[in-house]
Chain A
Amino acid sequence: MLELDRVSKTYPNGVHALDGVSFSVGAGEIVAIVGGSGCGKSTLLRAISGLDTPSQGRILLDGEPVTQPHERIGIIFQEPRLLPWLTVAANVGFGLEGRPRAERNERVAKAQARVGLSDKANMWPRELSGGQAQRVAIARALVPRPEVLLLDEPFSALDAFTRADLQDHLLDLWADLRPTLMLVTHDVDEAVVLADRIMVMRPRPGRIFEEIAAELPRPRDRQSAAFDFVKRRVLAALDRSLQRAKTVDDTQTTTSTGAALWW
């Protein structure tokens, strides 16, 4: 289980990016974090990954504090970040160095086959399309079999068609090992397609504003009424989170719950 305990982050330049964020995510759960730009959602993810350390509060993975990159936590960035000097296969196997060659080759081959890029093993990253490169990045993050996989707007640079394809693909891969997925996105559709729970954040400083359960059956139909209902709830919450951040002080926001009460 991944727990966040009053996590705050103030950058050296004085920007107060996160303020007392607490929640926990169970094993195998898929949680999406949505919010307007600058609401600290990427900061939150970087803190969980151990790349940044929170100014206050703790991040615990099964009770063990996370202060630096952890072998059970993987991350996929917004850009594929493939190392351009390594072939596709070497990129996929990047996290396996030090293991026996046979095991490495086998796991790399399996991961490549799983993301449908077996024929691209000896290509350079520059020869891949954006979607293919992000698939390689997904394979690279999954090969060490992380228990928690963080995704920082992983599909935001792709076209709508490729994005939907990769979302389905990600769910497919998730079903193999069922890691905990934590996904930061500004695409509400993406959040509703993927997540069991959607956290809406509000900016300045970043806080959890509302938590919305999205317990729709999988695979999810993007056209269904239930999908639309959850999506509307998320959009309404997003809307309120942004307006209140500007006009209403904290004491009021915590008492009201529905969109209707706001008016």
Chain B
Amino acid sequence: MSLVQMSVAVEPAAEQQRRSSLSRWGRPALGLFLPLLLAVGWELAVRAGWSDGRLVPPPSVIYATFAELAKTGELQRHAMATLARVAAGFGVGVVAGTLLGAITGYSNFAHRLLDPSLQALRAIPSIAWVPLFILWLGIFEASKVTLIAVGVFFPVYLGVMGAVMSVDRKFVEVGRVFRLSSPQMVRRILLPAVLPSYVIALRSGLGLGWMFVVAAEFMGASEGLGFLLVDGQQLGKPAQIVAAIVAFAVIGKTTDWLIVGIAAPFLRWEDRFNNGAGAS
């Protein structure tokens, strides 16, 4: 009898431990399954001679190109150039989007004054600005950074404005009952209340930043990952194109993950329906 009880008592604990170690390593691994299957499949297909892999290079060739570019320092130089542009554009766009979004969300007057114009500007496809930016700012860094900043601005602006406008009246009333001044209300109620949406706005802004840096580098650059793309196309080097795309994916994902990681300690309080599905 006692033996049966023992085994009943022991098994769930062991089971639980096994499951938790599975969830620590198993869940991320599950996400890798599909891409790895495709990569291995394509590699085998090329090795087997079913395709020459000239236009769609197999992983081994991409890796070789990647390693070659990295060894000569080319990859780092181009990646740094692109990263610097995104960083500058993202910084400008985030600052402008946050300020204007906060103002138009907080003040009805500012909303009525500014929001219609900004929404009209938002309706213009940002790439349409390119010729004008080149005329105004030249073909070098300034016009590229401006284009990226414009791309980053709108999602951040919209996100911040929407978040500030939809802060729960009930929390604001708690602030009023405790007689918070306007700056205190912003710091103690509004800022924490908008933080979850703000992180999402920053992430979608960053995503657009990475999108527009490619557009900016297409319009004439001598360095940058976008340049590697154009160069690969013009010289017929598909492996170089894919290598640049992979670099985009890695750096883009890393920067996104940085935002999530930095924000995470401030968002532990969130009461979400699914705490396991968050981006990782």
Contacts and interface: CB of A to CB of B under 8 A. Distances in A.
9 cross-chain pairs, A with B, having the tightest CB-CB distances, nearest first: A126-B271, A85-B192, A85-B269, A95-B178, A124-B269, A69-B177, A81-B174, A69-B179, A81-B170
B19 interface: no
A71 interface: yes
Interface residues of B, number: 18
16 contacts: A51-B177, A69-B177, A69-B178, A71-B179, A77-B170, A81-B171, A81-B173, A81-B174, A83-B174, A83-B189, A83-B192, A84-B270, A85-B192, A94-B188, A95-B178, A97-B184
A74 B177 contact: yes
A49 interface: yes
B176 interface: yes
Contacts of B268: 124
Nearest to B179: A69
A51 B173 contact: yes
A2 interface: no
A179 B143 CA distance: 66
Nearest to A74: B177
A51 B176 contact: yes
Interface of B: 170-171, 173-174, 176-179, 184, 188-189, 192-193, 195, 268-271
A51 B178 CA distance: 11
A79 B170 contact: yes
Interface of A: 49, 51, 68-71, 74-75, 77, 79, 81, 83-86, 94-95, 97, 124-126, 144
A84 B178 contact: no
Most interface-central of B174, B177, B188 (chain A CB within 10 A): B177
A97 B180 CA distance: 10
Nearest to A83: B171
A70 B171 CA distance: 17
A84 B173 contact: no
A83 B180 CA distance: 14
A31 to B, nearest CB: 20
A68 B174 CA distance: 13
Given A124-B268, A124-B269, A126-B271, A94 B178 contact: yes
A97 B179 CA distance: 11
Nearest to B189: A83
Most interface-central of A70, A75, A77, A84 (chain B CB within 10 A): A84
